[in-house]
Amino acid sequence: MTNRRDLLGLATATVGAAAAAASWSAWARTLNGFDLSGALVPASAIEAGGPPRDGIPAIDQPRFVEAARAGLDPADRILGLERQGIARAYPVRILNWHEIVNDRLGDEPVAVTYCPLCGTGVAFDARVGGQVASFGVSGLLYNSDVLLYDRRTESLWSQILGQAIAGPLKGTALPSVPITHTTWAAWQTRHPRTEVLSTQTGFQRDYGRDPYDGYDKLPRLMFDVQHRDGRLPLKAWVMGLVINGRARAYPFDWLDQKADVQGRWHDQLGGQRILVRFDRRSRSAEAFDASGRALASITAFWFAWVAFHPETDLPKEN
């Protein structure tokens, strides 16, 4: 795959360093057709992932089936969302091919997003400035994480940061919605009447094939990140949480050892008491505040969480 460094090297060899630098600067500002001038992150760290804009098509008109017709295996990973009395499961086997589902639960518009390279599933309230935003896949990455774009302003949004990093809405935050990254069996047990995203997406894809099969086992990355941290293996699974500016990552292997028999770990973060619940069978973690309200955490590979939160700490024994 030709990348930005290959193109710069070729330009330098053929037209000289000064002309190459000018050409590179102009090209970088409009990578995949997006204006990166004045971006909140270094434009040189934004990479073309391969597919062009919308080459990975978002699902804009999702269809859902009842649980009995889902055709999922018990161990299949899903993102689970419950809003306004509606429970929905979004199979990772579908999200691998689309990365964004523009959906609505009741009167609440939501964007369900998934980055296969980072293992991150994040849901957002899709209302921006009083308008409902529709998101697409830009084909660009920052810290190996998908960059969304909203179709009205063509601003670029970082999934893990939950913030527009370039374009007219630069600096605007998207409110996160708590979502559960778990197995189909665990979600169905909790929500037997759940709806499930249908494979009838309007696109021809082999949803029985995982295009990223084995990636979670490789001890290397496909794309670069701006910060690395050797405290954990690159692709160790963690649950990341930020409260009042304090970031903490809870490694699944650590929770497996330290949580009580019911999978509970009591902690304090950012001046608040929280409860982490770890399901050993489904290898999934969730966080709740002192009142039992679900918090918007992120399940991720360690490298992805720490790339965006270099100051993150790890839990200690109480």
Q: Global pTM?
A: 0.90
Provide the token pair at 179: 């979502």
Query: Which is nearest to 71 in space by CA: 55, 39, 94?
Result: 94
Structure confidence at residue 318 (pLDDT): 63
Rounded CA gap, 151 and 81, in Å? 24
Q: Is 36 helix (H, G, I), strand (E, B) or coil?
A: coil
What is the per-residue pLDDT across 157-189, written as a single tens digit (0 to 9) for each?
Answer: 999 999 999 999 999 999 999 999 999 999 999
CA distances from 58 to 98, 123, 287 (A): 5, 14, 28
- The model's pLDDT over 118-135, given as tens digits with 9 standing for 90+, comes to 999 999 999 998 999 999
Find the mean pLDDT for residues 7-32: 45
Give the residue extent of every domain in the chain: 15-224, 228-308
Instruction: Report the candidate in 250, 219, 223 with the shortest Cα–Cα distance to residue 115.
Output: 223
Residue 198 has what pLDDT?
98
Checking if the pLDDT of 28 tops 90, the result is no
Mean pLDDT of the chain: 91
Tell me which H or E stretch contains 274: strand 272-279
The dihedral sign for the CA sequence 107, 109, 114, 120: negative
φ, ψ for residue 123, nearest 5 deg: -115, 145
pLDDT score for 1: 37
- pLDDT band at residue 317 under the 50/70/90 scheme: confident
Q: Which CATH superfamily is domain 15-224 in?
A: Rieske [2Fe-2S] iron-sulphur domain (2.102.10.10)
Nearest Cα to Cα of residue 239 among 175, 290, 155, 304: 304
Contact 304, 144 (CB under 8 A): yes
CA 45 to chain centre: 18
